[in-house]
Homo-oligomer: A and B are copies of this chain.
Amino acid sequence: MAFGYNGKILRVDLSREKISIDSPDDVFYRRYIGGEGFVAYFLLKELKPGVDPLGPENKLIFAAGPVTGASISGSGRNSVGAKSPLTEGFGEAEVGGYWGAELKHAGFDAIIFEGKAESPVYLWIHDGEAEIRDAGHLWGKDTGDAQRIIREELGDKLIRVAQIGPGGERLVRYACVINDLHDAAGRTGMGAVMGSKNLKAVAVRGHEKGKVADAEKLKELARWLIQNPKTWSWAHDLGTGGAMEAFVELGNLPIRNFRDGDFSNAKALDARTIKDTISIGMESCYACPVRCKKVVKIAQPWRVDPIYGGPEYEALAALGSNCGVDDLKAVCKANEICNRYSLDVISTGDTIAFAMECFENGILTDIDTGGVKLNFGNAQAMVQMVEKIGRREGLGDILAEGVKRAAEKIGRGAERFAIHVKGQEVPMHEPRRSRALGLGYAVSPTGADHVHNLHDGSVASRNPYFEKLAALGILEPVPREDLGPRKVRALIYVVDWCVLDNSLLMCCFLPWDHIQKTEIVRAVTGWNTTVWELMKVGERITTMARAFNVREGFTKKDDRLPERFFHPKTSGALSETAVDPAKLEKARSIYYEMMGWDENGVPTRAKLEELDVAWVAQTLG
């Protein structure tokens, strides 16, 4: 077994209350790495096609990676995956914090949950042991209370808890899984899958720090980070969301359901404002000096409990500007409720923005909203609506289904305001600005997802990122507006690496370049791995996720963007330009072909064989 892995994957059959351990070989670990890779493997290998995402036949996978738990920044993360109740396709999300490292220290690399518990339970994993425990007393509790009770009853304050709140319990389709009360495996509704299995929480405690192959080299790489604070001081000082005004000017900030370009008080939502007013410090992840996560405390008009952390950029934009809201405290409260209830801030914000636009267009009325004036900019209404979604109360019950299903239920043309791809709401980065981002959203296996598309390959020669991309052979600047072949190529390379990051579970904010990250993997595992091998792992996993969706019935026409992005914003920076649908369609074809997929977006047998997963071709029939 390579260093960096325990060689043990926990398998928990909730229906039969049976726990067992898989012991994969070294080749399995090297081929699928961890995180998203494990998710893709187990979903394709073990799920029957067409299962109900909220039924017992779905499986829920928690996975760490090789580096997780090692003494190096970015090693606290884990991934959560299942068939998505939001998209009905490949579901997966990553999350930072400490839980992933704790799982590794407790002796396991991943957990596969199968079936459904008869009544609410939680799993308690400690130093190689695992037990299913009753969670009747926890069900219905906010995440904060649940974590406190679990720690108390197990008698250890350092237990790490991944869990759902009432939103997950009530199967809000975009419910997330919350670690440490403030870190979310946010996208694709993994919290709803957890809820559907009557699984409240996974509590973990471990004391065995695994050995790494080359501790000296790993220290050297950790030292480099500490000695180069300029490369991460932006994150240390402000975290995300420190350029809200610039984002308005550039057109990158979603405003009023992705409709508008003007937003006069963006400064109110800026991380600098938070720092100067309501911040009480910054929180870290395991073994990381960067400390990029905001913690806010507010007494009134809303009480915001700092145990729930504070809003990241995605929350500030989704619950703020995209709802037309510039009331920072309201956004912080909404963010806190999302963490209490385990709701994805992006989908929550987008869904409320959708409802607001419906309301302003008379598609939803006072009757639907129970009297709430659900206009853009109504901070009070926005906060109320988050709570209603979490409780599935009134209109909240419809909105808890996500914009796609909500629009179908509402009818009356609401669909045109439902900004999603494959049923997942669009994150806070504007495809009208970075054109390949639109392509990335369109083809992403998880639907619109910025964690599969952290960068779209646009790069100017003066950008420090340019030098990094050269390591992948992107030798010349590729402008944002470009959507031609060289941009598609850049997107593919960037996304393949991004998916690798999701599998290694290494944080994408950290400044290590491709060479250093590979050196980290090498130092931990002892493998003689290379950027070539790791890029191919990324491509392999991207293609496996694609294959899963093909098997679930997705076709080329699901690789689309919402109509809205084909029109300019009503004002501001992007009021005269938009995504050209013909160019997008052409770029999609080029993308398929470059990926080795056929003209319908189905991975070819030869490509699957070249990626060393010939068995996947068989699952496609």
Contacts and interface: CB of A to CB of B under 8 A. Distances in A.
Nearest to A31: B475
A485 interface: yes
A135 to B, nearest CB: 41
Contacts of A606: 485, 590, 593-594
Interface string A590-613: 100110100000001011011010
Nearest to A468: B528
Interface in A455-494: 467-468, 470-473, 475-476, 485-486, 488-489, 492
Interface string A531-566: 111111100000000000000000000000000000
Contacts of A476: 27
Given A610-B489, A612-B489, A472 B515 contact: no
Given A485-B606, A612-B473, A530 B528 contact: no
A610 B493 CA distance: 10
Nearest to A540: B473
Contact of A515 (B27, B530, B537, B593): B530
Contacts of A536: 473
A151 interface: no
Nearest to A534: B532
A514 interface: yes
A492 B473 CA distance: 19
Contact of A473 (B468, B488, B532, B607): B532
Contact of A470 (B513, B527, B590): B527
B610 A492 contact: yes
A529 interface: yes
A401 to B, nearest CB: 38
A471 B489 CA distance: 24
Interface in A246-301: none
A518 interface: yes
Interface in A9-29: 27
A141 interface: no
Contacts of A610: 485, 489, 492, 594
A468 B532 CA distance: 13
Nearest to A530: B531
A604 B593 contact: yes
B530 A518 contact: yes
Contacts of A535: 532
B612 A594 contact: no
A217 interface: no
A564 to B, nearest CB: 29
A528 B467 contact: yes
Contacts of A473: 31, 532-533, 536-537, 612
A508 interface: no
Given A528-B471, A594-B609, A486 B533 contact: no
A471 B594 contact: no
A373 interface: no
Contacts of A612: 473, 475, 486, 489
A471 B526 CA distance: 11
Contact of A472 (B31, B475, B533): B533
B531 A470 contact: no
A530 B522 CA distance: 14
A473 B609 CA distance: 13
A1 interface: no
A614 interface: yes
A596 B531 CA distance: 21
A537 B470 CA distance: 13
Nearest to A476: B27
A8 interface: no
A578 to B, nearest CB: 25
A565 B220 CA distance: 54
A379 to B, nearest CB: 47
Contacts of A485: 606, 609-610, 614
Contacts of A514: 530, 532
A567 interface: no
Nearest to A473: B533
Contacts of A470: 30, 527-529, 533
**Most chain B beta-carbon contacts within 10 A, residue among A31, A514, A534, A610:** A610
Contacts of A527: 470
A438 to B, nearest CB: 19
Question: 6 closest Cβ contacts across the A-B interface?
Answer: A593-B606, A485-B609, A530-B531, A531-B532, A473-B533, A532-B532
Interface of A: 27, 30-31, 467-468, 470-473, 475-476, 485-486, 488-489, 492, 513-515, 518, 527-537, 590, 593-594, 596, 604, 606-607, 609-610, 612, 614
16 contacts: A27-B476, A30-B475, A31-B473, A468-B528, A471-B529, A471-B533, A472-B530, A473-B533, A473-B536, A473-B537, A489-B609, A492-B610, A531-B533, A532-B532, A593-B607, A594-B610
Given A472-B530, A514-B532, A593-B606, 11 more contacts: A467-B528, A468-B528, A471-B529, A472-B532, A473-B612, A485-B606, A486-B614, A515-B530, A530-B532, A532-B534, A593-B604
